[in-house]
Amino acid sequence: MFRIVFNAPEIPGNSGNAIRLSAITGAQLHLVKPLGFNFEDANLRRAGLDYHDMANVTVHENLDAAFEALGEGRVFAFTSEAETVYTDVQYEPGDILMFGKESAGLTAEEKKHPRITDLVSLPMLPGRRSLNLANTASIVVYEAWRQHGFEGA
């Protein structure tokens, strides 16, 4: 299945929703430190509801450690500044879908990481800064899964 990477997530509710997304779709969720919360956070638990035990979640010390643990696979980094649109990608099982922190997205350095296959965006109306992190991840995961006939559902 697909692998979601939240790099330095700050808002517990977004990661909680991603835990739920992971459980529901079978996608793996990889959280990269620093985290803006701990796993005892009530907002994280509330957003994830009772799906925590059904989700495949791994926490990594840093982005390089995450990439090492993830092994092979294409990496699509999501940013509002990309020219490739998420629906133009032909997703493959095992693809890594990477998202930056809520307040700033991916840094310029992270966008140039040698593991990144392509920078990808979701269309938005002009003058809008960004879409919620968990919503963006959900849209992308469901598009990737749709392309594979919702295999396993």
Range of the domain at 92: 3-146
Question: Does a structural domain hold residue 58?
Answer: yes
Model confidence at 35: pLDDT above 80? yes
* pTM, 2 dp: 0.94
Q: What is the pLDDT of residue 41?
A: 61
Distances (CA, A) of 134 to 5, 117, 127: 11, 22, 21
Question: Does a structural domain hold residue 134?
Answer: yes
The region of weakest confidence among 12-26, 41-55, 73-87 is 41-55
Task: Specify the length of the chain in residues.
Answer: 153
- The pLDDT tens digits for 66-83 are 999 999 999 999 999 999
Segment 85-108 shows an average pLDDT of 97
Question: Does a structural domain hold residue 153?
Answer: no
**Domain CATH number, residue 13:** 3.40.1280.10
